[in-house]
Structure 1
Amino acid sequence: MKGNLLGYKTLKECVYEYLSRELEIGSLKPGDTIDEKELCERLNVSRTPIREALIQLETEGFVKILSRRNIYVNELNLDDIENIYQVMGALEAAAAERALERMTDKHIAELEKLCEKMKRALEKGDFSKHMDYNLKTHELFLELNDNELLTKIVLLLKKRLYDFPEIIKEVPEWDTMLVEQHIKMVELCKQGDKKGLNNLLKDIHWSFEKNRCYIISYYSKDGN
């Protein structure tokens, strides 16, 4: 990626997006080291935007900076996932409760469509679309939630779980169960049941213990 990166964005933003993409597609893998000097030469920029972008990625949990010559991509281990699930359960449950106060029949109809599309994608074995419709269901709750900080944290944590590197993997029993949970979410929304929706998201959907075996299968490197 030689040449001038600068457009309407700052150099730091461009470098951050470049590194994020490298993480997403797996060009930078967990455990890999990052050479600041080599990055400067490859992108034809000074060390300052490189360092600023790396600091942001470290703040977000994606890399670890020990020194200029010792920067590596963080691995996502089970302890990390358990911690993220605990936080996600609390935040998404809170977001869904707030969203329910603003939810209209139109929104519920959209949730029903997403559930049906999610189910059909699973039946066709299209796990990429299945995942996409899964995430869009949760995004609708976030869109209706008026807490911008909560939304920002949730989206960042989902990047940590799914995007760096991007994971699209079949876990049949889990995928089927997720469809059923999303259908139940819609039913609870129709009923205006805040407590039920909160419990479903926090104590079932984002329960690490209830999903442990599926999580291990999903994140296993050998595919088993």
Structure 2
Amino acid sequence: MITRKYDSLKDHVYKYIASRIQNGTLLPNHKINEAEICEKLEVSRTPVREALIQLSSDNLLEYIPRRGFLVKELNTKEKLDVFAVIGSLDALAARLSMEFITDSDMSMMEEYIRKIDVSIQENNYDDYQKYQTAFHKVYIDKCNNHTLITMMESLQNSFIRQSYLSNDSEKLYVILKQMNDQHKQILRYFKERDSDALANLIQFHHWKIEHPEMI
């Protein structure tokens, strides 16, 4: 099994900025204040600049000469492209992890499913996003392929803000309930050790976006 390394200062800064993009604190076209980040995280400019360059490479930021690094605004087609790639890689990670997943891991996934249900009931979509990411991370981290894990982390950071955004609360509730029902099905396939059904569900159903106007 692969031993995960500790985060470097650059990784720490990267995750801090990426999380603020995902939760909507940093909106598209927002200019990144390097000095503010240095002060907030108590780091030098070097890891901050390294993180910004990496975020730009990973399509979360763009560098504008004489303006600096700005949060990138992705169009719907670009977002759908990210979902398509995520679906394929997530299915591969699930298939590879089947050999290593434990009863303890599956109990953890079951607990995340419960927390997701509570988050949906309470209309707490920040927690929904946090727990659904954690659910997938359980088996992704057990796939025994560090390159795949790194690629997944990078692509998941490209999910600008929440997966779904809508003023139609009833529609959003139904969609997220359906997605958590699929989480339950994913867990069932892990318990049954059915890797083919698992990969098919994840790639062709779970990450298929039926309401692109809401992402």
TM-score where L is the length of structure 1: 0.73
Who is 1:58 aligned against? 56
Match of 1:86 in 2: 84
Match of residue 151 from structure 2: 153
Residue 200 of structure 1 corresponds to 201
**1:144 and 1:32, CA in 2 relative to 1: closer, same or farther beyond 3 A?**
same
- Given the alignment, which residue of 133, 139, 142 partners 2:140? 142
Larger gyration radius, structure 1 or structure 2? 1
* Residue in structure 2 matched with residue 216 of structure 1 by the alignment: 213
- Which residue of the partner structure matches residue 117 of structure 1? 115
Query: Is this contact kept in 1: 2:38–2:48, CA < 8 A?
Result: no
Structure 2 distance, partners of 1:187, 1:13, is: 34
Shift of 1:142: 1.2
Answer whether contact 1:128 1:168 (CA < 8 A) is retained. Answer: no
- Cα distance, 1:59 vs. partner? 0.9
- Separation in structure 2 between the aligned mates of residue 77 and residue 179 of structure 1, nearest angstrom: 26
The residue that corresponds to 1:5 in the other structure is: none
Q: Distance in 1 between matches of 2:12 and 2:103?
A: 40
* Gap change, CA 1:203 and 1:41, over 3 Å in 2: closer
What secondary structure, in the 3-state scheme, does the structure 1 residue paired with 2:62 have? strand
Give the superposition deviation at 1:151. 0.9
Give the corresponding residue for 1:182: 183
SS at 1:83 equivalent: helix
Larger relative contact order (Cα-Cα within 8 Å, sequence gap ≥ 6): 2
**Which SS does the other structure have where 1:72 is aligned?**
strand
d(CA) in 1 for partners of 2:90, 2:82 = 12
Per the alignment, do residues 181 and 42 of structure 1 end up closer, same or farther by CA in structure 2, a change over 3 Å counting?
closer
Residue in structure 2 matched with residue 3 of structure 1 by the alignment:
none
The one-letter amino acid of 1:88's match is I
Q: TM-score, normalised by structure 2?
A: 0.76
Question: 1:161 is paired with a residue of what secondary structure?
Answer: coil
2:95–2:198 Cα contact (<8 Å) kept: yes
Cα distance, 1:148–1:172 mapped onto 2, change above 3 Å: same
Aligned length: 201
> Is residue 99–residue 145 contact of structure 1 (8 Å, CA) maintained in 2?
yes
Output the CA distance in 2 between the equivalents of 1:145 and 1:60: 22
Backbone CA RMSD of aligned residues:
3.2
Q: 1:24/1:59 Cα in 2 relative to 1: closer, same or farther (>3 Å)? A: same
The verdict on how the C-alpha distance between 1:191 and 1:75 changes in structure 2, with shifts beyond 3 A counting, is same
Structure 1 pair 47/148, CA: closer, same or farther in 2 (3 Å)?
closer
8 Å contact from structure 2 (residues 13, 51) kept in 1? yes
Task: In structure 1, give the amino acid aligned to 2:61.
Answer: V
